[in-house]
């Protein structure tokens, strides 16, 4: 079996409350962590909630990195999804742990898009320009 992608669901606990309530800081942190993994950034969008909390996403050619923060609980939920085998999503997690100053982290990895490939064939992560649509 081969997987199209890897998805890491991360819970960052005991984070710095002021940092995880700062939309600019969160945006910069996700962008820098994503760049550290050598992922290809396509776009990003972040929103500050009132009175607190930030949600945002960095869309990458390899999929996405998304976050939602709960400063009142010093907690952040993060979803890191990378397709293919060129990006290590754990690099993103480790950088975010530092940026968020998280003292406790819980994470799990899931393989996404599992396929049994015929012998001699590999799973394509990007469209093959020579294939004709069905």
Catalytic residue among 29, 37, 63, 102: 63
DSSP codes joined into one string, 39-64: --EEEEEEEE-SSS-EEEEEEETTEE
For residue 93, what are the contacts with CB-CB under 8 A and spacing of at least 6?
A: 8, 10, 78, 80, 105, 107
Is 63 labeled as catalytic in the residue annotation?
Answer: yes
Is 68 labeled as catalytic in the residue annotation?
Answer: yes
Catalytic residue among 29, 37, 68, 102: 68
Is 107 labeled as catalytic in the residue annotation?
Answer: no
Strand partners, 7: 81, 110
Alpha helices in the chain (DSSP H): 23-36, 89-100
Catalytic residues: 63, 68, 83
């Amino acid at each position: 079996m081969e997987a199209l992608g890897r998805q890491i669901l991360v819970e960052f606990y005991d984070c710095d409350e002021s940092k995880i309530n700062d939309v600019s800081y969160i945006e910069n942190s996700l962008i820098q962590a994503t760049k550290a993994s050598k992922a290809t950034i396509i776009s990003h969008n972040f929103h500050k909630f009132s009175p607190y909390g930030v949600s945002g996403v960095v869309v990458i050619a390899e999929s996405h990195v998304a976050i939602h923060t709960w400063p009142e609980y010093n907690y952040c939920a993060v979803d890191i999804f990378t397709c293919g085998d060129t990006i290590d999503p754990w690099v993103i997690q480790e950088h975010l742990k530092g940026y968020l100053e998280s003292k406790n982290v819980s994470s799990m990895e899931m393989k996404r898009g599992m396929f049994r490939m015929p012998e001699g064939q590999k799973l394509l992560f990007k469209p093959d320009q020579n294939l004709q649509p069905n």
